Amino acid sequence: MHGEKIFAIRDSFFEFDLMYIWDEYYINLFNSLYANNEYVIEVPERFKSKNNTNRNQFEDELIIKYYLQWEDEIELEKINRVRILLKDEYKFIVRPHPRYSDTKLIQRIFPTESIESPYDVDIMSSIRNSYAVCSKYSTVFFQAYLQDKVLIIDDISNYKVYDKLKEFDYYIFHKDHSLLSEIVNNIAGDGKI
């Protein structure tokens, strides 16, 4: 298994003699996509390795890291407004996807100190050095879950994606998580993003 999977036709009707998956959830997902496989549940060692960083170490500076993918300008502007609304309670850092993100657009919208380079900080260090991780959907959620991080699903920047993920019974909805809108409303009230 490589990367997060959702109910999508591109992952249907495939067959392996033996397929390694991260969680039992994916057996039902792949079976519903008519995949024909024998499964072994095994989490990659690099996902499991923890260091001493835990939630309590971030009491002085609560860091939310937003793991970007292919957001357009409107979505990035919404995410930046969230960053501004939360700035008194959280340090909010965005991390561009090394392949999919438009880094020039991100650099135009976000201040430099709010951007973490995927080329300078490896993904596991990035996750470990955060209090919470946020995204619409990402493999990072699974990795962060294994590191006991707070998981925040972005239901603000693109509600259509969020609604589709709910419809497809996305994996992370089965884990303890928060919604970005709940965090914003707790801090900023019912202000519009």
Spatial separation of the C-alpha atoms in residues 180 and 188, rounded to whole Å: 12
Q: Percent of the chain, pLDDT > 70?
A: 87
Residue 91, helix vs strand vs coil: strand
Q: What tens digit of pLDDT does each residue of 26-57 get?
A: 888 888 888 878 888 888 777 766 654 444 45
* Beta-carbon-side half-sphere exposure of residue 124 (alpha carbons within 13 Å): 11
Q: Give the CA distances from residue 114 to residues 17, 31, 107, 141, 165, in Å, rounded to whole numbers and listed in that order.
A: 45, 41, 9, 20, 27
* Residue ranges covered by each domain of the chain: 9-42, 55-188
pTM comes to: 0.84
Residues pairing with 95 in the sheet: 67
Could you name the CATH architecture of 55-188? Answer: 3-Layer(aba) Sandwich (3.40)
Contact (Cβ atoms closer than 8 angstroms) between residue 77 and residue 85: no
